[in-house]
Amino acid sequence: MKKVIVLGANGQLGKTIKDLPDSGTIDFHFYSRSDLDITNKTKLETLFAYSDFDYCINCAAYTNVEGAETNTEDAFLINAEGARHIAEVCNVYHVKLIHISTDYVFDGESIEPYTTTDQTNPINQYGKSKLQGELYIQEQLNEYYIIRTSWLYALHGKNFVKTIINKIKEDSTLNITTEQVGTPTSCVDLAHFIIHLINQGIVPYGVYNFSANGSTTWYEFAKEIAKNYNSDKLEKIKTSGSFKTVAKRPKYSVFDLKKTERIYKELNTWQNSVGDLIKAYKAGKYLK
């Protein structure tokens, strides 16, 4: 049985991993920020020294894209320095690192899906801090998986799916931007991919893109949520050409998934994944 530590266990991905049924192959140990702050390298070292972890899944991150523009120091402390601390400790104790990154490492100027080797060029502080974390990991480790993902949502935490559902419950009219094109990604799908990496044990190390198949706008994403949750409210979803934000967003951040598909055959369409999650939400239970 592989021993695996999950950092950032109270986030939407960490909680989704915790929800997965016990496969009998992985012994998970979950740590939230209050349990273990990744900006404190000494505490990381103390834990890892006596724990014999095989893998570390780093879900811990500063994810407030707007906040990162003004709280830049905090974003870099967690997303860059925190990632460096984890990588250094993993290196010393021979722990394989699975690190979650983002489509925001790209500038969004491409007209074709991004591959794992395309030039990075983040246009906001969140993206810059996440890219720096990636670079620190690559400097420190040979045995790592950096998973770039996009538009994450889950039954847990704050995310676009739950925001739209709550607005539908309130019978609100919503104006949703059509400016950005990307791919919604269910934390359930991502969690299963992470488990696959661990259980396979022979997947080549490096950077991987992970999302659902297909692409859409935030407006079409919102309509798909409404269609699955309460189709009577579809007319409440309106288009908006722009959405004013402090942070610049990539206008196009669709992933090329060919590298991922060579090692993993279970990719869903984004529409199916949204439907599955909302079924679980309406049933009042977590998706297993």
First to last CA, the chain: 21
- Among residues 62, 126, 252, 281, which one is catalytic? 126
Q: Check residue 34 and give left, alpha or beta (phi > 0: left; psi -120 to 50: alpha).
A: alpha
Spatial separation of the C-alpha atoms in residues 107 and 104, rounded to whole Å: 7
User: For residue 37, what are the CA distances in angstroms to 125, 132, 197?
Assistant: 21, 19, 25
Can 93 be counted among the known catalytic residues? no
Of 12, 6, 57, which is closest to residue 35 (Cα–Cα)?
A: 6
CB 172 within 8 A of CB 181: no
User: For residue 269, what are the CA distances in angstroms to 60, 167, 179, 193, 259?
Assistant: 26, 25, 21, 15, 17
Which residues belong to the active site? Answer: 126
